Chains A and B, each alone.
Chain A
Amino acid sequence: MKYFRTHILIGINDTSKQAGVDAFIKTLRESLTAAGLQEEINILETGPLGFFGKGICLTVYPDNVNYENVKVEDVAELVDEHFLKGRPVNRLMFDAGSKFTPKFNYESRIVLRNSGIIDPESIDEYLGTGGYEAWEKALQMKPMDIVDEVKKSGLRGRGGAGFPTGLKWSFTAPIECEQKYVVVNADEGEPGTFKDRLIMEGDPHQLLEGIMICAKAVGATKAYIYIRGEYKLSINRLKKAIEQCYNYGLLGKNIFESGFDLDIDLKIGAGAYVCGEETALIESLEGNRGNPRWKPPFPGVKGLWGCPTIVNNVETLANVPYIIKHGAEGYKKFGTPDCSGTKVYTILGDVAYPGLCEIDMGTTLRTIINEYAGGMKQGFRFKAALIGGAAGVILSDRLLDVKMDLNSLNQYSAVLGSGAILVMNENTSIVDMLWSILRFFRHESCGKCAPCRNGSQQLYDLINKIKKGQGTEDDLDKLLLIAETMQQTSFCALGQSPVMPIRSALDNFRDEFLALTKK
């Protein structure tokens, strides 16, 4: 391996492509070569960098300088000043002026440990970090031993419901039948959520390795990744990664002479939030409308084409290689005793450093905002945070010290869900926010069952009335009553969800709603 004095990491994603990152890289390469630096400075095209800047973003190591919105015209100055003379260009720095450097806590990263560090399109770089060692190990393990290890690790689903992963696998593994499937839920549609996209863009091989281990554990020989059609970059990177795996003999027939066969295929969704629900997703895979099925039987027993099917979230499976490689005990060093591991969050809104982070389960919301997102944006005060997207809760500052893990949040009937944290300043209207959430549910209700089909429309009508200042205090109670009725009677979790944002908004910000109602 060659040693470089400096590494320039460039985030390749939709936004940077739009901003012309290809032309930028070409110019940068030429200028570095012209300055004779091509042997000293390495350019690495990589995935998410950990902060969300505008346009083309760079991180320079070891200087730890972040640039945003750099253009071809800036290359000369960057090379002259920073790369030749070692003086970072303040003008282009991400959030210039603030003294805060966001914590890039590489030490407690599992899922994102390679993200923004290796080239996601190169299997060799993944192998270079110890990739696919867990898969080799798993191939030699008994299926039930893999299941037990995952059970012991305490890993719980990261797709929203938080169901223990090892337990889910243990129902499917012993079933004797011709065909079983693994389906990866990459349909990420929860508003404000895109952690799965960042995982797939940043380190697609880690997800594939997790799928392989899961398939071996439950005895599935075919896996599908059901991914949103909008995630073009993830789709391309996964396609490439799968192809590389076949070329290296990591997938296919009789893998490494183990007698185990596995194929992985991508399936592209067509745009419906409800298809993230596991049984609706299966319907969609079969070529039907994405209406949820009745449970039980659960997919683990009777899923795709009637066969036992494990449905797991992207982040859940991306944790699995670490567990197999370092053992359940190694994994349990992260998180709290009853909720192990890390969680990937996307922090958005009025914070100084909107970005992506992976931290131990059980970290408080206050810590996340202050230490990982640099606190509030200058001049703004914290008012509320929407946690977990539309099917989430709106917390006020009274709950800033709640621990973010699956159990602690339950006490506040909140869910960790998707890991989306949207921070709002004191000028944001909670009524508007709730309006936008209820509009979302009205649109996404699949129409199969009456409580949700009609209820989501009624909720929208009510909040519309309130937003226009024509509501009464009674209407607030009605909102809650309808949502609670939906929670008790709806066919699937979509219709059971609106109660969470509604109740939390009314609990924490009732005065704001009252101020808008007619007396």
Chain B
Amino acid sequence: MYQEIFSKYTPTKDNLIYILHDIQDSDPQHYISEEAVQAISEYLNLPANHIYGVITFYSMYSTTPRGKNIIRLCESPHCYIKGSENILRKMKNSLNVGVGETTKDGVFTLELCACLGVCGNAPVMMINDDVYGDLTEDKVDDILAKLREVK
């Protein structure tokens, strides 16, 4: 099942980062499974420990299953000053999860991240590939509700 992704890349180590990106993006649970690591290990002829080393180094990869939508709320200084803590509290309440956890229905995973480079609109979060800026506690519920509707 990973062959389609592998066929886009030559089997060299420098493609590891991109293969990991693609595998994680195509997994409905947005993570890199043990089977995936095995398959990559064979394709790239790399030891599994190197692959795990890389996965755990970068904040965008996960080795545990996650929700359909990955929320990454910025906690860096500028967003912090603009009240990201309040947004975090609100989000934890609305979703009933802690940081790094996934909602029971599997729709959202809540994560924190470093500056997203959109500080002009602080506080900011990214959900999947989309940036949401100028967050307020009211806006949070709207955004979550809209994403819940998407099937």
Contacts and interface: CB of A to CB of B under 8 A. Distances in A.
A192 B78 contact: yes
Contacts of B130: 14, 18
Contacts of A232: 129
Given A271-B60, A284-B17, A348-B122, A428 B113 contact: no
Contacts of A333: none
Contacts of A191: 76-78, 114-115, 119
Contacts, number: 129
A174 interface: no
Nearest to B14: A287
Interface in B46-81: 50, 53-54, 57-61, 75-78, 80-81
B116 A270 contact: no
Interface in A419-439: 420, 422, 424, 428, 432-433, 436-437, 439
Given A190-B115, A191-B114, A287-B15, A433 B121 contact: no
Contact of A440 (B57, B58, B76): B76
Given A14-B118, A346-B119, A348-B120, A390 B60 contact: no
Contact of A230 (B15, B80, B126): B126
Contacts of B18: 268
A63 interface: no
A290 B131 CA distance: 26
Contacts of B126: 230
Interface in A228-263: 228-232
B133 A18 contact: yes
Interface in B19-56: 20-21, 50, 53-54
Given A268-B18, A390-B77, A433-B77, A188 B117 contact: yes
B13 interface: yes
Given A390-B77, A433-B77, A436-B80, A194 B114 contact: no
A289 interface: yes
A171 interface: no
B129 to A, nearest CB: 6
A402 B19 CA distance: 48
B114 A193 contact: no
Interface string A258-292: 00000000011111110000000000111111100
Contacts of B80: 432, 436
A236 to B, nearest CB: 11
A194 B14 contact: no
A103 interface: no
Nearest to A229: B60
Nearest to B18: A268
A440 B133 contact: no
A424 B115 contact: no
What range describes how many residues of B lie at the interface? 35 or more
A514 to B, nearest CB: 22
A422 B132 contact: no
A348 B78 contact: yes
A18 B120 contact: no
A316 B105 CA distance: 48
B91 interface: no
A386 interface: yes
Given A18-B130, A270-B17, A287-B16, A424 B81 contact: yes
A197 interface: yes
Interface string A172-193: 0000000000000000111111
Contacts of B116: 230
Interface in A191-206: 191-194, 197
Interface string B77-114: 11011000000000000000000000000000000011
A346 B115 CA distance: 14
A289 B118 contact: no
Most B CB within 10 A of own CB, among A289, A437, A446: A289
A287 B13 contact: yes
B141 interface: no
Interface in A273-323: 273, 284-290
Interface in A388-447: 389-390, 420, 422, 424, 428, 432-433, 436-437, 439-440, 443-444, 446
Contacts of A367: none
B134 interface: yes
Given A272-B58, A289-B54, A194 B117 contact: yes
Given A287-B17, A289-B57, A422-B78, 7 more contacts: A52-B121, A189-B117, A191-B115, A192-B78, A271-B58, A390-B77, A439-B75
- Sorted nearest first, the 4 A-B pairs with minimum C-beta distance are A52-B120, A270-B58, A287-B13, A191-B76
Interface of B: 12-18, 20-21, 50, 53-54, 57-61, 75-78, 80-81, 113-122, 126, 129-134
Interface of A: 14-15, 18, 52, 54-55, 188-194, 197, 228-232, 267-273, 284-290, 346, 348-349, 354-355, 386, 389-390, 420, 422, 424, 428, 432-433, 436-437, 439-440, 443-444, 446
9 contacts: A191-B77, A192-B119, A194-B118, A269-B17, A270-B21, A270-B59, A270-B60, A288-B50, A440-B76
